[in-house]
Structure 1
Amino acid sequence: MTEMNKKLVCPVLPTPFTDDGEAVDYKQFALIVRWACENGADRLVLFGGASECYKLSREEKIGLVETACREAAGFSIPVMATLCEQGTRIAVEEARDFIRGGATMINIMPPSFANPSSSMIGDHVEGICRELGQVAVMIQYAPDLTGKGLNIAFVASLCRSHNTINMVKVEKQPVGPVVSSLKEILGHDTEIAIGNGGFHCLDAFSRGASSVMPGLACLRSFRAFCDAFNKGRSQDAENIYKLMSAYIFYNFRHIEAFTAIEKHILYKKGLLKNSIMRTPSLPAPDEWSLAYVDRVCKEMGEL
C-alpha cells in the first residue's frame, strides 16, 4: 500500500481541566499525549470540537500546543492545530503562535458568524495561506456547522488554488458521496479525512478517504480498524467497524454531549482525573446513557 493510500487515525485530543473547571490541567494533558502516541495515533489534532476549543483562551491554546509538541517529539508524531477564529488577522496571529509552539500542520475551520459568502471564506483562507508559507493546511468542510458558503466544488477550488492545502476534513452527511466527489475532482494527491467521530468511516475508507479523526476514547479500536484496512483484511476491518458502530452511532450527537461521553470513558480509563467540562455546557449524560456506553466500550475492549 502506498503512503497516500495508507489509512491513518488522527485523534482529536480532549482538554483536561481542574476540578473547578477554572484551569487547564497541563500535566494531565501531557499524560494524554503520551498515551495517544503509545497507543497508535498517527497524528495528534488539537482544537476540534471535542477539545472544547470554543472555551479556551489564546494563552491556553498556546500552552496546549507546546505541551503536545514537546511530548510527541520523542515519538516523531506530528501535531495539527485548528484555527477557529472568525477574523483573518486574528487567525493568522493564532496560526503563527501554533507554529512557533511546534505544530507542523494547520486545520482551518472556515468562519461562520453571520453566514459569510463563498468569496468571504475564500479571502479568509487566502489570507491565512499567504502568511503560512509552505505549512501543510487542511480545510474543514462542515457546512452544517459553518454555513452555506461552503460546497464541494468551492472546497475543491480552494485546494487547487493553494498547493499547501492538501487535506480536507469532511463533516457532511452522507459522507460517502462527498468523498467520492472530492476524489473525482482532486485525485489522489489530497488527503480526505473523516470527522464526526468516525461516523460512516467504513464507507468513506472504501471510497478512498485516507484518515479518520475520532475522539481519543476509542483510539485502540480505530487503530485496529485502520491496521486491518492497511493489511488488506477488508472483512476484519468491517467486523471491527460493526463492533465500533454502536459507540459511533450512539455518540453522533450534539458536540457537547459527544465530548461529555468521551471524557466519561477517558475518566473510566484513568486518563482523566475528572470528566469536567467548562461552562456553559449541556446537562451531563444521565446514568442510563453512561451505563450503555460503558457496556458498549467493554464489548469493544476499550474498558
Structure 2
Amino acid sequence: MKVNWQGVIPAITTKFNRDDTIDYTFFANHCRWLVDAGCIGIVPLGSLGEGATLSFEEKIALLKTALEAIGDRVPVIPGIASLSTTEAVRLAQAAEHIGCSGLMVLPPYVYSTDWREMKAHVDAVLRATSLPAMLYNNPLAYKTDFLPEQIAELAREHSNLQAVKESSADVRRIAAIRALIGERLELLVGVDDCLVEAVQAGAVGWIAGLVNAFPHESVALFQLAQQARLGQGDQAQLEALYNWFLPLLRLDTVPKFVQLIKLAQEMVGMGSAQVRGPRLELEGEELASARQIIEEALKHRPVLN
C-alpha cells in the first residue's frame, strides 16, 4: 500500500493487562477507532508505544494485529528502534515480510555518538527493505540530532527515504530542511504542542500523541491548521480549538508523556493508565495535577462541526 504522509498518524500506545501481557483485542479496537476518526496511518512500536519494553515476538504480534484490524484502509508504519543495528534490520525485514507499508526509522537506543556511526545505523536499516521510510529525529529523547544537511545527505543516497518526523521542537528546522532539499521529503511534526506553528512552517503531517485519547479533535485541528496555512478556513475556530487543546498537547512534551497520555485515554474511556516498568503509573500530587488538566479539558470539550 502506498504511504500517504499528509495527515494525522497516531504514534499508538500499547495497552497492557494487569498481568503485564498485551491486550491485543483492545489494540485492534483502538486501531480501528483511530482510523474511523480520520487518521491516515498507524505507527506502532514507537516510544509512546513503549517499544523499548516489548520483546521481538510481541512487536511482531502487535504488527500482525494492526494489519488484521485495519486491513487495507491505511498503512501500518512500525517504529524501528533497537539497541543494535542487527536487531533493527531484523525488525525492519520482518515488518516488510508480514505486510507493513512503511517504516519509521529511529537512531539506536542508548548509544549515541557521531554522524559517521549514526548514519551507518540508518543506512543499514534503509537498505534492508524496499519499504518507504520516515526518519525520526528526536535529539531530546535519543541524544542524536540529525541536522538538515545530514538529512539531505541521506535523502540523496536512499530513494526509499520519503519523510522526516522532526521532533527537535525547533520549527525553524522545517524551513532549513526544505531549503536544502525542496519537496524531496515530506516533513511531519512530532511534537504535539507546536503543531500549528509547524504546519505554518511547512509540515504536511503530524505523528501525534494525544490523538490516542482525542482523535476527532486532533484531525480537526490539523485540518484547520492546513487551511490556515493556505489562507482559508476559520481562523477563530482554529485559535479556539488550539487554545482548548494546548494544555493537553503539552502532556506530550515531558518525560512522563507515556503515563500522561495513557491516563488521558483511561479518563475518556478508551484505554488504561497501566504502563510497563521501568515506568510507573502516576500518583500523589503528580496524578492529581494531571487529572485536573484532563478534567478541565473534558469539562469544556468543544463540539466539532
TM-score scaled by structure 2? Answer: 0.89
Partners of 1:39 and 1:79 in 2: how far apart? 16
Matching residue within 174, 183, 191 for 2:178: 183
User: Residues 81-117 of structure 1: CA distance to partner in whole angstroms, max 9, x if unpaired?
Assistant: 0111132221111111112232111011012533222
Is the 2:148–2:180 contact (alpha carbons within 8 Å) kept by the matching residues of 1? no
| 1:144 partnered with 2:126 | no
Deviation at 1:241, TM superposition (A): 1.8
Is the 2:251–2:257 contact (alpha carbons within 8 Å) kept by the matching residues of 1? no
Partners of 2:152 and 2:245 in 1: how far apart? 31
Report the AA paired with residue 265 of structure 1: A
Partners of 1:219 and 1:45 in 2: how far apart? 14
Deviation at 1:173, TM superposition (A): 2.4
Alignment RMSD (CA, Å): 2.1
Q: In the alignment, which residue of structure 1 is the partner of 2:222?
A: 226
Deviation at 1:223, TM superposition (A): 0.5
What SS is found at the alignment partner of 2:164? strand
Query: Unpaired segments of 5 or more residues in structure 2?
Result: none
Larger RCO of the pair (alpha carbons < 8 Å, separation 6+): 1
Query: Unpaired segments of 5 or more residues in structure 1?
Result: none
| 1:65 partnered with 2:63 | yes
User: Residues 168-209 of structure 1: CA distance to partner in whole angstroms, max 9, x if unpaired?
Assistant: 0111122x101111111121231111113x121111101110
Is the 2:67–2:100 contact (alpha carbons within 8 Å) kept by the matching residues of 1? yes
Report the AA paired with residue 86 of structure 1: L
Q: In the alignment, which residue of structure 2 is the partner of 1:106?
A: 103
Tell me how many residue pairs correspond in the alignment.
291
More displaced stretch, 64-73 vs 144-153 = 144-153
Deviation at 1:148, TM superposition (A): 4.4
- CA pair 249-269 structure 1, distance change in 2 beyond 3 A: closer
- CA pair 170-234 structure 1, distance change in 2 beyond 3 A: farther
| 1:203 partnered with 2:204 | no
Is the 1:112–1:147 contact (alpha carbons within 8 Å) kept by the matching residues of 2? no
Deviation at 1:35, TM superposition (A): 0.7
Is the 1:11–1:44 contact (alpha carbons within 8 Å) kept by the matching residues of 2? yes
> Once superposed, which parts of structure 1, at least 4 consecutive aligned residues long, lie more than 4 Å away?
none
More displaced stretch, 54-63 vs 138-147 = 138-147
Deviation at 1:300, TM superposition (A): 3.1
Q: In the alignment, which residue of structure 1 is the partner of 2:79?
A: 82
Is the 2:82–2:88 contact (alpha carbons within 8 Å) kept by the matching residues of 1? yes
Deviation at 1:286, TM superposition (A): 1.6
Deviation at 1:251, TM superposition (A): 4.1
User: Residues 205-262 of structure 1: CA distance to partner in whole angstroms, max 9, x if unpaired?
Assistant: 01110111112112211110122244531613333222211211244211xx211121
Report the AA paired with residue 125 of structure 1: V
Partners of 2:226 and 2:181 in 1: how far apart? 22
User: Residues 45-76 of structure 1: CA distance to partner in whole angstroms, max 9, x if unpaired?
Assistant: 111211111111111110100011111115x1
Partners of 1:142 and 1:251 in 2: how far apart? 13
Partners of 1:82 and 1:243 in 2: how far apart? 30
- State the identity %: 22
Partners of 1:148 and 1:228 in 2: how far apart? 32
- CA pair 205-264 structure 1, distance change in 2 beyond 3 A: same
